[in-house]
Structure 1
């Protein structure tokens, strides 16, 4: 992870976020830039990874910083995957929220094997009302 700079609290341009999402394989509404902008405007913990001023990774969370943190998005451009960038974004998220805060996420099917490898426990006591739009 040489030459990669991580930043907390920086919200990149929506077009740059969309580039990361589209490259990473994450399924997000990237054809709707207004929705992506709203997603970030209403999140309170953003951590980014940069190489030579290029956005290469991002994590987006919603948290109260004392009990629960929902990690909504974790995305790394495909050419930078498998270098520990996603793991580092999660470590920095954990650092920001502190030890008294649980880190919770919903995983895309393709990432179900990734999260246990970096320290997440699989849980069976969750429920969801799925978005309809």
Structure 2
């Protein structure tokens, strides 16, 4: 297996949704609505991908100012390619794009909660979320 890692590869919404489904992240995303992912990909300003030929097998998609904060929105690897260091390499390449003061934050998928402490992430207990439909105020 020879993988190619890219920071400049265009990714279609269909490719992304297919990769989400193969990584199991699709279980928690509205993958039946490609327009959502077209907009999400267009608004993301950092995308690192792993390719096996023309097949997208891994991705790290983030929103960042590149200097202070990077929110890792999605980190996924095709289930058939997991446990080969692909996710770690995607994060290394993502982090290489960031300035020296930039923090990385994420919300772990339930199945991945034990993965992140093992590679150096620290637990952050001061995050909050407002879900769609929740009243504000």
State whether TM-score is above 0.5. yes
Where does 1:1-133 land on structure 2 (aligned, <5 Å)?
2-26=1-25, 27-132=28-133
Per the normalisation by structure 1, the TM-score is 0.93
Alpha-carbon distance in 2 for matches of 1:105, 1:82: 20
Runs (4 or more) in structure 1 with deviation over 3 Å come to: none
Structure 2 residue matching 1:88: 3-state secondary structure: helix
Runs of 5+ in structure 2 lacking a partner? none
Alpha-carbon distance in 1 for matches of 2:102, 2:66: 6
Are the counterparts in 2 of residues 14 and 37 from structure 1 also a CA contact under 8 Å? yes
Q: CA deviation at 1:97?
A: 0.9
Per the normalisation by structure 2, the TM-score is 0.91
Larger radius of gyration: 2
Alpha-carbon distance in 1 for matches of 2:10, 2:123: 30
